[in-house]
Amino acid sequence: MNKLARVSLGHFPTPVQELPALSAALGGPRILVKRDDMTGLAFGGNKTRKLEFLAAEAKAQGAGMLITAGAVQSNHCRQTAAAARRLGMDCTLVLVGRPTLHPEANTFLDMLFGAELIWVKPEKRDLRLKEVFAAKHAAKRKPYLIPYGGSSPLGAAAYAYAMQELFKQAIRPDWIVFASSSGGTQAGLAAGAALLDSKAKILGISVDEKAKTLAERAAALATETMTLLGEKRKFKTGEMRVNDEYLGAGYAEMGQPEHEAIHLFARHEGLLLDPVYTGRAAAGLVDLIRKGHIKKKETVLFWHTGGTPALFAEKYRTALLD
């Protein structure tokens, strides 16, 4: 594995914890959780890992500021805004949604970090991002563009290293289950597994995309990530395990399955999940255990990717107490 430049933004390795009470409640397999919600940068999450590599490249290029885009409650934007401050840079975020007088949860944190927020309609996101970048460049601000979800080969490589980190913790699960969206986490884990010759079944629970679309993207990204890591290996779409049966009413729309999963983890283990990503992935995990798809004699590792600040957005807070 090539060694890539990295800056320190989080606390690694993140802990791995057993969830015996949840396992007993489900009559299911041994369940472990990899706590990437504890990476430590501004409430943590999977983007911290990616940002350690992306920010290293930004620094090497002499960047003066970071620019990225995301949804209103983007965990990626929140961690990017925090990373920029840690590195003495400014940050501009292109957020899909309407400006609000009552910033909540992640948006509130973006503002606390003093990020510049630019609100756009969904169809204008990519165009606005390009325009903002060009304007900052022209103003000699030396912007560095962080891709959506931090999911370039460089960002995804962080999860190949994360897989190596898990191996060093002497953890060899039969399954690794996690929330998958822009595909960087999945691509990196798949690349890492290939490099380490891991037999673990790596299953991304899609939070907003059809399985085929996400699997195609993750496979292409995993192939490019391998190249970056110095290995030639082509991933096929069919090699990527993606499950899209838990999309419910769509992205960021919390339904009964997420509601149940968040309560199960909270009440059996004192562990917090988020309503958009890990709540949905955990709902999938619980269902797959109940159906016997993940077997009692197996060990499953739930890779907690963060997102918990979104719990405090009014929309989710009230629904969760119903």
Ligand X SMILES: *Cc1c(COP(=O)(O)O)cnc(C)c1O
Q: Reduced to 3 states, what is the DSSP secondary structure of residue 29?
A: coil
Residue 74 bears catalytic tag:
yes
Residues facing residue 183 across a β-bridge: none
Q: Is 305 in the site for ligand X (CB under 6 A)?
A: yes
**Smallest distance from ligand X to CB 24, Å:** 26
Q: Using the rule CB under 6 A, give the single segment among 118-126, 195-203, 231-239, 271-279 that binds ligand X.
A: 271-279
Q: Is 173 in the site for ligand X (CB under 6 A)?
A: no
Q: Is 206 in the site for ligand X (CB under 6 A)?
A: no
Cβ proximity to ligand X: between 173 and 184 the closer is: 184
Separation of alpha carbons 4 and 57, rounded Å:
9
CA angle 127/128/132 to nearest 5° reads 125
Q: Is 14 in the site for ligand X (CB under 6 A)?
A: no
Separation of alpha carbons 273 and 180, rounded Å:
15
Q: Is 153 in the site for ligand X (CB under 6 A)?
A: no
Identify the residue among 307, 309, 313, 316 touching ligand X (CB under 6 A).
307
Asked whether the beta carbons of 268 and 21 are under 8 A apart, the reply is yes
Identify the residue among 235, 277, 302, 316 touching ligand X (CB under 6 A).
277
Cβ proximity to ligand X: between 183 and 284 the closer is: 183
Asked whether the beta carbons of 274 and 291 are under 8 A apart, the reply is no
For ligand X, the binding residues in 41-80 under the rule CB under 6 A are 45-47, 75-76
Amino acid at 270: G
Separation of alpha carbons 90 and 141, rounded Å:
9
- The 3-state secondary structure of 225-239, one letter per residue: HHHHCCCCCCCCHHH
Q: Compose the 228-267 pattern: x for residues touching ligand X by CB under 6 A, - for all others.
A: ----------------------------------------
Separation of alpha carbons 188 and 156, rounded Å:
5
For ligand X, the binding residues (CB under 6 A) are 45-47, 75-76, 149, 151, 179-186, 274, 277-278, 305-307
